[in-house]
Structure 1
Amino acid sequence: MTVETVLSTHGLVMRFGGITATNNVTMELKRGARHALIGPNGAGKTTLINLLTGVLVPTEGRISLLGEDITTLAPHKRVARGLVRTFQINQLFDSMTPLETLALVVSQHQGIASQWWRPLGASKAVTERAAQLLEQFHLGDVAQQQTRFMAYGKRRLLEIAIALACEPRVLLLDEPVAGVPAGEREELLQTVAALPADVSVLLIEHDMDLVFSFSDRMTVLVNGTLLTEGDPETIANDPKVKEVYLGHGEHAHV
């Protein structure tokens, strides 16, 4: 593993009884990468992400983050080391506003969450960081609105803002545009494209337009196995990839 590799797997295997969901997957995420993980439904993408984030412990193989073996490390400890994930389905506090949510997350990251009883804004550093995130993710106009009343695209933006509030070294973006109406997608796509260059991103996504516009490298999974890996042009012209997607009625995207 080179110093430029921030996250890697080696010989990763995940078995559920007699089913092998992840089959000897070895891959590397480079520093500052925009790396997409794609594959048809049932390819094993979610299982792999659950292994990377510690939701699952692999049957075999190992995972390294910034040169450290994290194979059996608890999920919250991986977050503390800079590995942060967004989820395909929103996991937000409906009764809180974006400002309150981000202030809470920033406070927790700065180690002062135990002082939750202090008035919002008591810490200048927390207030400034929350305001910066609200502006960066185009949430200023809904900063004081309860999350439950926000448009779905804005909720997705808030979720990514929460992830960035944890100051990740590696960000796993799990289908960021899933369920977002067409009219709300452009703002989200622009925000994803403008993520900080020093954050290495692994994108899991079915939207091939986003995948090809965002990624500088792509990994293709099929039946839990790494089919191929390369830059977007190589993947787009790979006969094996075309065959896989043709077989699943998705040839228009590849």
Structure 2
Amino acid sequence: MSDVVLQTHNLVKRFGGITATNNVSMTVHRGARHALIGPNGAGKTTLINQLTGVLPPTEGRVVLAGQDITGLAPHQRVGLGLVRTFQINQLFTSLTPAQALALAVSNRVGASRRWWQPLGADAAVAAEVEQLLAQFRLTEHANRITSELPYGKRRLLEIGLAVALKPRVLLLDEPAAGVPSGERHEILATVAALPDDVSVLLIEHDMDLVFSFAKSMTVLVNGTVLTEGTPEQIAADPQVKAVYLGDSLAGVRPGH
């Protein structure tokens, strides 16, 4: 069985005369901790929107676990295991973490159709919710209204909701955006501890986080793949330093 879980083949996206992604071919392997980096305007969000079905490509294909999903709607891709988070969190602020996770798990297993039961009444759903609360460091906050949570905890809840859908591939779009520096390590540690059967594609501008987390990286510049490699290779690449990283790598050591 191939260990390739997500692949793009020559993805092109044009908006009028502007080419936002240009022949992007990228491979994400099973269990990957893969980072997609590049300067603002490099085409990262456009690429993610093509992966998730928000934007149809002008040319090219997206393949998930051997299945061509280029023509599938976003919800169909989620059903096949391609799940994303967003730069700005998308949460039901009036629910508690326990309620939100129970809703996500119930929806995945079909228990949400049992509308006459209280949310989380299903024992298997309740057990999974407890496990997710612990995994995402939310047990102490389980019954707090989401709008009252510290921002870092809200980001953890969003990632927890994505993981509740049992993704094959988890796309994390700047999970540390807006999070105070003191809370970022908790997000990094939690994401790093995800099981190997969840392949992670991370978009992030925080180079400390990227180089602590990623085992492989793709650098996108002007909609084109500049290079791919390990963090060590990327950090040493003169092209990458010239067009993007520059002084931002000062003091950053891959794997630390």
Q: TM-score band (shorter)?
A: over 0.9
Confirm or deny: 8 A CA contact 1:103 1:130 kept in the other structure. Answer: yes
Match of 2:181 in 1: 182
1:115, distance to aligned residue in structure 2 (A): 2.1
Q: Output aligned runs, 1:220-231, within 5 Å.
A: 220-231=219-230
Q: 1:187 to 1:71 in 2, by over 3 A?
A: same
1:251, distance to aligned residue in structure 2 (A): 5.4
Matched, 1:47 2:33: no
Deviations 1:154-198 (A, max 9, x none): 000000000110000100011111100112122111101111111
Structure 1 segments unaligned to the other structure (5+ residues): none
Q: Distance in 2 between matches of 1:82 and 1:33?
A: 15
Q: 1:200 to 1:47 in 2, by over 3 A?
A: same
1:252, distance to aligned residue in structure 2 (A): 3.8
Structure 2 segments unaligned to the other structure (5+ residues): none
Match of 1:133 in 2: 132
Q: Distance in 2 between matches of 1:183 and 1:250?
A: 20
Match of 1:89 in 2: 88
Match of 1:142 in 2: 141
SS of aligned partner of 1:192: helix
Q: TM-score, normalised by structure 2?
A: 0.95
Confirm or deny: 8 A CA contact 2:207 2:248 kept in the other structure. Answer: no
Q: 1:53 to 1:253 in 2, by over 3 A?
A: farther
Confirm or deny: 8 A CA contact 1:209 1:253 kept in the other structure. Answer: no
Confirm or deny: 8 A CA contact 2:9 2:25 kept in the other structure. Answer: yes
Identity of aligned residues (%): 69
Match of 1:213 in 2: 212
1:228, distance to aligned residue in structure 2 (A): 0.2
Confirm or deny: 8 A CA contact 2:84 2:173 kept in the other structure. Answer: yes
Matched, 1:164 2:163: yes
Q: Output aligned runs, 1:19-58, within 5 Å.
A: 19-58=18-57
Q: Distance in 2 between matches of 1:80 and 1:108?
A: 11
Question: Which amino acid in the other structure matches residue 231 of structure 2?
Answer: P
SS of aligned partner of 2:130: helix
Count of residue correspondences: 252
Aligned Cα RMSD in Å? 1.4
1:246, distance to aligned residue in structure 2 (A): 5.7
Question: Which amino acid in the other structure matches residue 68 of structure 2?
Answer: D
Q: TM-score, normalised by structure 1?
A: 0.96
1:70, distance to aligned residue in structure 2 (A): 0.4
Question: Which amino acid in the other structure matches residue 39 of structure 1?
Answer: G
Question: Which amino acid in the other structure matches residue 54 of structure 1?
Answer: G
Matched, 1:113 2:142: no
Q: 1:58 to 1:107 in 2, by over 3 A?
A: same
